[in-house]
């Protein structure tokens, strides 16, 4: 009887975890769509997102200090590591 109860509890917990992951995935997709739309609006209005330390990032890339440039880019923009690396790679 205890094993059946434990299995039922384990299945319930697994179901909750899967449901939560599904919600996060949907939220991520919706956020990505909103960001794409916002990018299109900004492009249409000829607006550019300005970051105050981008000159510093570009200078670090020119000096060959790519890792430091990624760090500064992340501090300036709040980007995650992958996004910052991709942005710095585009500069170099």
Structure tokens at 50: 């300005």
**pLDDT tens, per residue, the chain with 92 residues:** 588 888 888 999 998 898 888 889 999 999 999 999 998 999 999 988 787 889 999 999 999 999 999 999 999 988 999 999 999 999 87
User: Counting Cβ atoms within 10 Å, is residue 19 exposed (0-12), middle (13-18) or buried (19+)?
Assistant: exposed
Structure tokens at 78: 């709040």
């Amino acid at each position: 009887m205890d094993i059946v109860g434990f299995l039922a509890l384990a299945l319930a917990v697994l179901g909750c975890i899967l449901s939560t992951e599904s919600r996060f995935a949907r939220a991520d997709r919706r956020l990505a769509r909103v960001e794409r739309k916002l990018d299109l609006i900004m492009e249409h209005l000829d607006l550019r997102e300005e970051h105050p330390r981008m000159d510093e990032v570009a200078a670090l890339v020119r000096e060959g200090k790519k890792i430091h440039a990624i760090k500064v880019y992340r501090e300036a923009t709040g980007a995650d590591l992958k996004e910052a690396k991709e942005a710095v790679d585009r500069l170099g």
